């Protein structure tokens, strides 16, 4: 049951620049009804209010993670966790138990390997798996989600061999002379395998091991559904533990429907703002019109498109080749004409687009396309519509494109921890161009709306760690000394603003959440330390004490 709350004796940072800090607040019927000093707020409360003495703790608006893959994260919780492995041998050893408990020919999935973290930085091959496990098709997703490592059985099931042509926007990595696939597939080539998994398995989400040969298809389907629903609920609790009350989710329609079902049943303590992948705008428009949603809890933003790949897979699309691979410019996943068609169609229907673009050429060309579209069709797409179009990741730009971001009124949706994970790869691949990468302060100074997120499960959910990275431009271990291109550091207040108010702005919800103001929804996070009064390193030790959603305490430590 939702209780009325009074929080007092705290350091409450509102993210409202007109009234930036108060000591107490009052919550009634899901909303903040008063903010101010201790005396005035206590005088408005009565015995029916539950009181929380903050004892100097910090209160912030609930964190809004503006780029997640919630079902992908849930799937990773029940798949094989390959993150933090230090060698291909360790990866292969980690899948041992799953193989031993799975019948032959059932697909086995793992998530999170990254050869850039291994002692020997070298892409693995199908042979590495084949010589140990040869009874099941095995698909291992790289940490960035832009490459997979598969064994020979998986390739055979998907019909991939030396004669298979690379799909548009994808690459089947091959042996240089024989052209035989090595077992690494990048970008759109991944779907050659995923389509086969979807066809053979009842659920796209999780191929559950079949331990009993008498298990019927109906029983397997029920078991799969129960497993993924439980995993999603666990995933949402993990977000809540991190102080997150809202997420912007980027996935396919089938996966998003699961989230809508759970939220309609009151089983998901998260507000969901959805972008749909692999869908025509007209189909999404009709789905939106015919689906009853409570926009405070489940809201449809638009379509998600991919223009290029990732730095980790060396598929981010660049103007000049990679410094350590002079023949590689990355991969352009979509053609300009198709991007323009989808952008225009979405905006005409009042749907936003979220365009994945990491490389400097990818970002430049996306800006070019949108600028052309605005010039040719502005009256068609802007009349009566409040659009919040965005580019996801924005990891490296040309110097002149910072101004263009503001001119085109595009939102930069960025993930601070990508800098910590990628800086060494960036130095190898981008060299001196790194001075224009992860350039948060440069975007802010150009007046660009910039919202923050985790890209979970690519990175771990941890807004506090993201705040630390954004104000220090260092990893948790303090590397490098003196920060990585320190001119792009943010102030702590601006970093928090990107994790709160800007997330609300990006979803068109700045009037109801994102700051601590009278009349707004009571979505709050309480931290153990006043992070404005301690060293950046000590910020990493701050804990989430309470997460409050809709006026209800959904997590307490």
SS3 labels along 280-294: CHHHHHHHHHHCCCC
Paired tokens of 118: 């291994």
b/e sequence 49-88, b meaning 16+ C-beta within 10 Å: beebebeebbbbbbbbbbbbbbbbbbbbbbbbebbebeeb
Residue 466 in any domain: the answer is no
Residue 88 shares a structural domain with residue 168: yes
Q: How far apart are CA 396 and CA 390, in angstroms?
A: 15
Paired tokens of 449: 């709306």
CA 476 vs. chain centroid, Å, equals 20
Residue 89 shares a structural domain with residue 198: yes
Residue 150 shares a structural domain with residue 199: yes
- Expressed as residue numbers, the domain containing 185 is 75-205
Consecutive 10-residue runs of the chain (557 residues): their mean pLDDT? Answer: 87 96 96 96 88 96 98 87 92 89 87 91 93 91 93 94 94 91 95 82 42 49 67 95 98 90 88 96 95 92 97 96 96 95 94 98 98 80 75 97 96 98 96 98 98 96 98 97 96 98 98 98 97 97 97 95
Q: What is residue 16's predicted lDDT score, i.e. its pLDDT? A: 95
Domain end, chosen from 186, 205, 224, is at 205
Q: How far apart are CA 331 and CA 168, in angstroms?
A: 10
- The count of structural domains within the chain is 2
Residue 30 shares a structural domain with residue 142: no
Residue 47 shares a structural domain with residue 106: no
DSSP state of 500: T
Paired tokens of 297: 């809890």
Residue 404 in any domain: the answer is no
CA distances from 428 to 85, 396, 542 (A): 21, 14, 33
Q: How far apart are CA 109 and CA 229, in angstroms?
A: 18
Residue 124 shares a structural domain with residue 164: yes
Q: What is residue 380's predicted lDDT score, i.e. its pLDDT? A: 63
Residue 130 shares a structural domain with residue 22: no
Residue 146 shares a structural domain with residue 79: yes
Domain end, chosen from 205, 223, 240, is at 205
Residue 158 shares a structural domain with residue 47: no
Residue 417 in any domain: the answer is no
CB atoms within 10 A of CB 30: 15
β-strand pairing of 138-142 with 390-393? unpaired
Query: What DSSP string describes 57-95?
Result: -EEEEPEEEEEE-HHHHHHHHHSEE-TT--SHHHHHHHT
- CB–CB of 173/182 below 8 Å? yes
CATH number at residue 182: 3.10.310.70
End-to-end Cα separation, the chain, in angstroms: 19
Q: What is residue 197's predicted lDDT score, i.e. its pLDDT? A: 83
Q: What is residue 213's predicted lDDT score, i.e. its pLDDT? A: 47
Residue 323 in any domain: the answer is no
Residue 5 in any domain: the answer is yes
Q: How far apart are CA 65 and CA 498, in angstroms?
A: 10
- CB–CB of 164/191 below 8 Å? no
Residue 200 in any domain: the answer is yes
Residue 464 in any domain: the answer is no
Q: How far apart are CA 67 and CA 275, in angstroms?
A: 10
Residue 143 shares a structural domain with residue 55: no
Backbone angles phi, psi at 442, to 5 degrees: -65, -40
CATH number at residue 40: 2.30.40.10
Beta strands in 107-146 (DSSP E): 108-113, 138-142
Residue 79 shares a structural domain with residue 119: yes
| Pick from 455, 530, 526: nearest CA to 62 | 526
| Pick from 35, 52, 128: nearest CA to 87 | 128
Q: Where are the alpha helices (DSSP H) in 293-416?
A: 336-348, 360-382, 401-407
Residue 106 shares a structural domain with residue 162: yes
Residue 332 in any domain: the answer is no
Domain end, chosen from 205, 236, 252, is at 205
């Amino acid at each position: 049951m939702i209780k009325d709350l009074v929080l007092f004796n705290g350091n409450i940072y509102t993210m409202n620049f007109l009234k930036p800090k108060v000591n107490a607040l009052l919550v009634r019927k899901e909303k903040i009804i008063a903010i101010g000093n201790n005396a005035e707020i206590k005088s408005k409360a009565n015995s029916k209010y539950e009181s929380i003495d903050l004892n100097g703790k910090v209160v912030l608006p609930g964190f809004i993670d503006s780029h997640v893959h919630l079902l992908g994260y849930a799937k990773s919780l029940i798949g094989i966790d390959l993150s933090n492995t230090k060698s291909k041998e360790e990866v292969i050893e980690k899948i041992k138990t799953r193989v031993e408990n799975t019948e032959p020919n059932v697909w086995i999935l793992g998530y999170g390997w990254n050869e850039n973290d291994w002692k020997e930085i070298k892409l693995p091959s199908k042979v590495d798996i084949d010589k140990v496990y040869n009874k099941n098709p095995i698909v291992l997703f790289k940490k960035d989600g832009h490459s997979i490592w598969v064994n020979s059985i998986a390739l055979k099931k998907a019909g991939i061999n030396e004669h298979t042509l690379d799909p548009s926007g994808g690459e089947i990595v091959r042996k240089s002379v024989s052209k035989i696939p090595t077992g690494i597939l990048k970008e759109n080539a991944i779907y050659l395998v995923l389509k086969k998994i979807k066809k053979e398995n009842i659920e796209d989400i999780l191929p559950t091991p079949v331990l009993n040969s008498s298990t019927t298809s109906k029983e397997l389907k029920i078991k799969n559904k129960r497993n993924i629903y439980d995993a999603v609920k666990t995933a949402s609790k993990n977000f809540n533990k991190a102080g997150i009350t809202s997420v912007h989710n980027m996935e396919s329609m089938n996966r998003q429907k699961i989230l809508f079902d759970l939220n309609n049943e009151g089983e998901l303590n998260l507000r969901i703002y959805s972008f749909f992948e692999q869908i025509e705008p007209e189909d999404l428009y009709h789905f939106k019109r015919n689906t009853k949603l409570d926009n405070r809890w489940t809201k449809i933003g638009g379509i998600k498109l991919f223009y290029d790949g990732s730095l980790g897979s060396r598929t981010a699309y660049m103007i000049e080749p990679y410094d350590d691979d002079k023949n590689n410019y990355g991969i352009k996943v979509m053609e300009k004409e198709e991007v323009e068609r989808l952008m225009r169609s979405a905006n005409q229907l009042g749907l936003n687009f979220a365009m994945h673009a990491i490389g400097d050429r990818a970002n430049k060309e996306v800006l070019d396309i949108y600028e052309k579209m605005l010039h040719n069709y502005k009256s068609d797409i802007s009349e009566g519509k409040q659009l919040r179009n965005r580019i996801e990741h924005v990891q490296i730009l040309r110097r002149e494109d910072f101004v263009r971001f503001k001119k085109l009124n595009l939102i930069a949706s960025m993930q601070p921890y990508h800098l910590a994970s990628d800086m060494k790869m960036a130095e190898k691949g981008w060299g001196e161009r790194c001075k224009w990468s992860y350039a948060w302060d440069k975007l802010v100074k150009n007046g660009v709306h910039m919202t923050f997120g985790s890209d979970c499960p690519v990175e771990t959910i941890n807004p506090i760690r993201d705040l630390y990275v954004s104000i220090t431009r260092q990893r948790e271990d303090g590397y490098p000394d003196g920060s990585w291109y320190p001119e792009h550091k943010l102030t702590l207040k601006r970093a928090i603003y990107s994790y709160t108010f800007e997330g609300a702005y990006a979803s068109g919800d700045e009037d109801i959440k994102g700051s601590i103001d009278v009349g707004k929804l009571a979505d709050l996070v309480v931290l153990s330390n006043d992070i404005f009064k301690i060293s950046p390193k000590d910020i990493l030790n701050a804990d989430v004490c309470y997460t409050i959603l809709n006026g209800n305490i959904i997590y307490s430590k």
